[in-house]
Structure 1
C-alpha cells in the first residue's frame, strides 16, 4: 500500500510539473493566447484600412470629384480662377 501511494504521488508531481513547466504548458498557452489577441487587433486594423482603400478606389472609378479632392489634398493643386489660402497654426 505504501508503494502504491508513493507511486501515485510521484506520478501526480510529474504530471503537475509537465502542466506548469513542460512543453505546451499553461504559461505557453497564456503567451499564445496573447499573441492571438494581438494578431486579431492587427487584422482588424488592416481590414479597416482595406475598407478605406476600397472606398477610395470606388470613388476614383465613379467620379471626377474624388480625383479633384485627392489632387487638392495631396498635391496642392488648384483650379483656374480659384484663390488658394493657407492658414498656418500659431507658433505658441
Structure 2
C-alpha cells in the first residue's frame, strides 16, 4: 500500500528513508575541501593575487624602460636622418669628435699658462708642502 507521503508500508516492515545523514556529511566535507583548494590557489598558488600584483609592477617598470628606449631610438633616428640629409652634420660631427680640419684651415691649439692654472700642492704628514722642498 502506498500512502500520500511516497513511502510504502508493507506488513510488519518499516519504510526506509532516503535521507542519509552520513552522505550529507561526506558531501559537505568534499565541498569544504574544494573551497579550501580554490582559496589556496587564489592566495598562494599559480596566478595568485600576489603574483598578479608582482607582474603588474614588472609591467610598469618595463613600460618605463621601453619609453626611455623609444625616446633614445627616436633621437638616434633623427640623428641618422640628419647625417643622411646633408654634409654639414657629418662635417660638424667629424670636427667635434675626431678633431678633423679642412685642408686650407689653420688649427690653433691654446694651452693654459702656468699662472692661469691653479697650483696643486700636496702636504705630507708634518704639514709641509711637498713642492716647497
Q: Say yes or no: TM over 0.5.
A: yes
Q: Which runs of 5+ in 1 are unaligned?
A: none
Instruction: Give the secondary-structure state (helix, strand or coil) at the position aligned to 1:45.
Output: helix
- 1:35 deviation in Å? 1.2
- 1:51 deviation in Å? 0.6
Distance in 1 (CA, whole Å) between partners of 2:77 and 2:32 is: 62
TM-score by length of 2: 0.52
TM-score by length of 1: 0.71
- 1:14 deviation in Å? 3.3
Instruction: Pick closer, same or farther for the CA change 1:16–1:86 going to 2, 3 Å.
Output: farther
- 1:6 deviation in Å? 6.1
**Structure 2 residue 83 is matched with structure 1 residue 55:** no
- Structural RMSD (CA): 2.9
**Structure 2 residue 81 is matched with structure 1 residue 26:** no
- 1:62 deviation in Å? 1.1
Aligned residues: 89
Q: Which structure's relative contact order is higher, taking Cα pairs within 8 Å and 6+ residues apart?
A: 1
Distance in 1 (CA, whole Å) between partners of 2:35 and 2:100 is: 75
Distance in 2 (CA, whole Å) between partners of 1:18 and 1:8 is: 15
- Aligned position for 1:77: 100
Distance in 2 (CA, whole Å) between partners of 1:9 and 1:38 is: 40
Q: Which runs of 5+ in 2 are unaligned?
A: 1-20, 113-117, 119-133
> Higher helix proportion, which one?
1
